[in-house]
Amino acid sequence: MTHRLRTVMVIQFPASLDRRNERAFLRELEIEMTAERPSIVLDCSQLHTLDRSSIHLLLHCLEKAMKRNGDVRLAVNAGVMEDLCTLGLDHLFRLFDTNEMAIESFRRRSVFPLPFVASTLASEQAA
């Protein structure tokens, strides 16, 4: 059996949004979204505050990737991570401290144990 590693693209998210920055960012994003199952890390390390425009752009990126069976992960600083969690966006995006951690998350299989399975196994072993 052959396993092929997914190519993960890192794109710098603009620190501040104006028309020119947003258009340039969207052009770069369009290029990366041509792949089947795009794996995108948005480097948001230069982003210091979330405003309506930046939230809208993050959600737009996620929507485009999901339409192609892909995903977007965010590398963010602590302040932005707190803001994303407060807004509940941590349920939509996987958040990481660094680009490297976000890239690695695409390369390893994510296993999310189901709580009822663990408790069922523990009770069976105790019996």
Q: What is the pLDDT of residue 60?
A: 94
Q: List per-residue pLDDT tens for the chain, 127 residues long.
A: 444 556 899 999 999 888 999 999 999 999 888 888 999 999 999 998 899 999 999 999 999 999 999 999 999 999 999 999 999 999 999 999 999 999 999 987 654 444 444 444 444 555 5
- Domain map (residue ranges) of the chain: 8-126
Looking at residue 7, the DSSP 8-state letter turns out to be P
Q: What is the pLDDT of residue 34?
A: 87
Backbone angles phi, psi at 95, to 5 degrees: -110, 140
Q: How many CB atoms are closer than 10 A to CB 47?
A: 23
Q: How far apart are CA 4 and CA 118, in angstroms?
A: 31
In 3D space, the residue among 7, 93, 101, 107 whose CA is nearest the CA of residue 50 turns out to be 93
Q: What is the pLDDT of residue 118?
A: 45
CATH architecture of 8-126: 2-Layer Sandwich (3.30)
Exposure string over 107-122, b if 16+ CB within 10 A, otherwise e: eeeeeeeeeeeeeeee
